[in-house]
Structure 1
Amino acid sequence: MSSLPTPLVRWTDADGAERQARWQSESGAAVLTRIDVIDDRLPADVAYRKACEGTALLWRGDFQNARQLLQAMTRRMDKRPPKLAETPRERFNQHRMWQGQRARTLGKLLIEIGTGHTLDLRRAPQIAPACEAAGVHAPCLMSLRELQGLLGAHEWHKKGVPVAALGGQTIHPCYGVYSPVRGEYIDLVAQAPLPQGPIFDIGTGTGVLAAVLARRSPHPVVATDVDPRALKCARDNLQRLGLTGRVRLEQTDLFPSDRAALVVCNPP
């Protein structure tokens, strides 16, 4: 999680008490200022309308029903995709805008995480291990979508993702680092002819491409990333694979100071 000061979000609870908590947003979403406290009695149509109008919804009901409400809001959102623009550039920009609007709207359904990373909701799962691994500071408010992503990422990290180009060995992504669930780009790096000389892996993330390259090439591999969390993830993966001495990790924006015969990059 970011080391920047965490902003506070304030709201009035159902009993009229004034409350405040840290605002947790991995994407840096703006602090929400209009918050309604809701539970299982609020219809999905009303919840969706409020979210579209900019009102955040702090859930106080059954946790599994909150998941169902988010699914219902998602269905309503996806029923109204924008009419496609004419040119590829316009369609690309339109898609980016739509995705941003979708994320903002669905991110209006909030969950309060209590001290010790607990959820005071019926049928709530244990979230402490995932929150602690991701560096979430509690108590806080976060969107249910973000919490679901955090829990899913924790499961991926525990199980790992098998990579055929590494002989079926697993890569373990951390929260906030893209998981190598699509293998096309990995297979390309595993099969493409390699030149003689040093290799750069720019934006290494989990370190999967650096690992594949280190297995294939006798030349130095330098993997860079600007995110300390990604570098730790890559370091852990390279250590599991026995490749620590074959890859040099650097925290830098894009390119290191050296020269390379080959540069690979798989941007998000």
Structure 2
Amino acid sequence: MEPRIEIVGADLRPDMAVRLASQGVGLLWRDDFPAARRLLAAMSRRLASRPADFYRYRQSRRNRARVLGMLLVEIGPDLRIDLPRAPDVRAAVEEAHGRPGRTPLTELLGMLSAHEWRVKGVPVEALGARIHPHYGVFAPTRQDYVDLVAAAPLPDVRLAFDIGTGTGVLAAILARRGVPLVVATDISPAAVACARDNLRRLAPRAEVLETDLFPAGRADLLVCNPPWLPGSAHSSLDAAVFDPRSRMLTGFLAGAAEHLAEGGEAWLVLSDLAELLGLRTREDLLTRFAAAGLTVADRLDAPPRRVTGPRAEEVVSLWRLRR
């Protein structure tokens, strides 16, 4: 059943917009584009809440995304937005593989933001270069995990596997540290294309494969920075944060011993946020290591971040694991 659509403009009040969107009414914007952005921001403020319980918080976030997603704009056949003072969105829509038609304003703004990151790039201090993320690929704006991989004692490595490479930033770090060959993998076609673009500039000898977890063979070093929270992903960017049923963490640990060369190391980069939220215990993590036939050689912790709120106590660690 097609959702009910109402044509709206600058006279629509935020409270009424939230009420209609909560009832499943699509709000098709036909007015000044900056005014649509202001309305969306006002709707977002009215929906803002942060329940203490993690599951209620996630539920509120899903509801917020659903309601805000009811404010729509029309992308024309030429991939333009025919609204006063609308930006040129063609390149952003093309890069995100978007199509003409009614599109949530939140989604369009996400495309524009991703396009800006892709053009400007994200400066990575440990790399001395910029990484250019693609739409739907997690941008390395937070770099404590990158710094850990850049600083960890490097064993004698001829071949390294970077599992779940994303933008390719960790593969580029390993190549800059002198690893002769890095094979980066990802299951996402968008991530594979993004990593290839970045590594073509930063580490031409690196290979990028579209595969689930490990490539064939054994390597002296395995690196993996899986999503840090067990839980279902509801968007492509969610997939960089949430690991359904800890699938990637489990798969990496289960395959590490089989893919490690003699004397090699597996580097698992993981936050303790899941532990702070009561979603996993430290004992469970250590049990997973032992069950996979791995021992902890060392653990390196990133310096605390200067943040407030629930993540103020979070610690990001690089676990050095051996067979």
Give the TM-score normalised by the residue count of structure 2. Answer: 0.66
In the aligned structure 2, how far is the partner of 1:127 from the partner of 1:180?
24
User: Which of 46-55 and 191-200 deviates more?
Assistant: 191-200
Q: How much has 1:262 moved relative to structure 2? A: 2.9
Q: Are 2:50 and 2:57, in contact at CA under 8 Å, matched by a contact in 1?
A: no
In the aligned structure 1, how far is the partner of 2:183 from the partner of 2:169?
13
CA pair 181-125 structure 1, distance change in 2 beyond 3 A: same
Q: Specify the alignment match of 1:75 in structure 2.
A: 45
Q: Specify the alignment match of 2:60 in structure 1.
A: 98
CA pair 97-263 structure 1, distance change in 2 beyond 3 A: farther
Unaligned runs of 5+ in 2: 228-239, 241-323
In the aligned structure 1, how far is the partner of 2:113 from the partner of 2:92?
9
User: Kindly, what percent of the aligned residue pairs are identical?
Assistant: 53
Q: Are 1:224 and 1:256, in contact at CA under 8 Å, matched by a contact in 2?
A: yes
From 164, 188, 206, give the equivalent of 2:167: 206
From 144, 149, 167, give the equivalent of 1:189: 149
Secondary structure at 1:201 match in 2: strand
User: Which of 68-77 and 197-206 deviates more?
Assistant: 197-206
User: Which of 255-264 and 43-52 deviates more?
Assistant: 255-264
Q: Specify the alignment match of 1:238 in structure 2.
A: 199
Could you report, residue by residue, the CA deviation over 1:105-147 in whole angstroms, capped at 9, with x for unpaired residues? 111111110011111111111111211222222x212110111
Q: Specify the alignment match of 2:74 in structure 1.
A: 112
Q: Specify the alignment match of 2:24 in structure 1.
A: 54
Asked whether 1:254 is paired with 2:213, we answer yes
Asked whether 1:132 is paired with 2:94, we answer yes
Equivalence map 1:152-231=2 (5 Å): 152-167=113-128, 169-197=129-157, 198-231=159-192
In the aligned structure 2, how far is the partner of 1:208 from the partner of 1:170?
9
Between the two structures, name the one with larger relative contact order (CA 8 Å, sep ≥ 6).
Answer: 1
Equivalent position amino acid for 2:90 in 1: A
Secondary structure at 1:261 match in 2: strand
Secondary structure at 1:142 match in 2: strand
Q: How much has 1:199 moved relative to structure 2? A: 2.0
Q: Specify the alignment match of 2:110 in structure 1.
A: 149
Which segments of structure 1 move beyond 3 Å, counting only runs of 4 or more?
none
How much is the aligned-residue C-alpha RMSD, in angstroms? Answer: 1.7
Q: How much has 1:175 moved relative to structure 2? A: 1.0
In the aligned structure 2, how far is the partner of 1:159 from the partner of 1:120?
26
Asked whether 1:38 is paired with 2:19, we answer no
Q: Specify the alignment match of 1:21 in structure 2.
A: none
Larger proportion of strand:
2
Equivalent position amino acid for 1:171 in 2: I
From 40, 61, 65, give the equivalent of 2:35: 65
CA pair 163-81 structure 1, distance change in 2 beyond 3 A: closer
Could you report, residue by residue, the CA deviation over 1:206-262 in whole angstroms, capped at 9, with x for unpaired residues? 100000011114343211111122111111111112x121x2211011222222333
Q: Specify the alignment match of 1:16 in structure 2.
A: none
In the aligned structure 1, how far is the partner of 2:101 from the partner of 2:5?
14
In the aligned structure 2, how far is the partner of 1:258 from the partner of 1:239?
23
In the aligned structure 2, how far is the partner of 1:232 from the partner of 1:189?
23
Unaligned runs of 5+ in 1: 1-8, 11-32, 86-90
Q: How much has 1:196 moved relative to structure 2? A: 2.9
Q: How much has 1:44 moved relative to structure 2? A: 1.0
Q: Are 1:196 and 1:219, in contact at CA under 8 Å, matched by a contact in 2?
A: no
Secondary structure at 2:42 match in 1: helix
